[in-house]
Amino acid sequence: MKKRRSMPSADAPNATLTLLGQSRTAYPTAPDEARLEAFPNRHPLRDYWITFDCPEFTALCPITGQPDFGHIVIRYVPNKLCVESKALKLYLFSFRNHGTFHEEVVNRILDDLVKAVRPRRAIVRGDFNRRGGIAIAVEASYP
């Protein structure tokens, strides 16, 4: 599965949503295999915040291969498109067996969100569980 960015048309606003309504869910094994799908924002003239809360985020330490657990919160003000939540869930799940540093994962999520939906504003925060006695919190924003 490659990431693609298709703009939903006014005639078929949900035509690019391929993950919803499937009887079987294919779980991507890496972020490069996942895709963020989107649907048209029905209130594009209004600024409003959308918040996604993922309290059970998991990735792997790129050095030790040990699991890292964290809490990811994504907040954004949509422009023309909104992120579809099942696609986001599968995208976040794709980090489960992916080696990455905390700082890298938060910035990657923000970059991929911006590429997928071009929000007016966005903030991604990751609060990661303690390892070696130190908890790490990372926050990245757009623009």
Give 54-107 pLDDT, tens digit per residue.
999 999 999 999 999 999 999 999 999 999 999 999 999 999 999 999 999 999
What pLDDT sits at residue 25? Answer: 79
Give every CB contact of residue 74 below 8 A, 6+ residues apart in sequence. 51, 52, 54, 88, 109, 113, 122, 123, 124
Active site residue 61: yes
Structural domains of the chain in order of their starting residue, each with its CATH number: 38-142 (3.30.1130.10)
Annotated catalytic residue, options 11, 54, 61, 82:
61
Q: Over range 42-52, report the average pLDDT.
A: 97
What pLDDT sits at residue 2? Answer: 46
Give 1-27 pLDDT, tens digit per residue.
444 444 555 445 555 676 666 667 788
Annotated catalytic residue, options 68, 82, 112, 127:
68
pTM of the model: 0.85
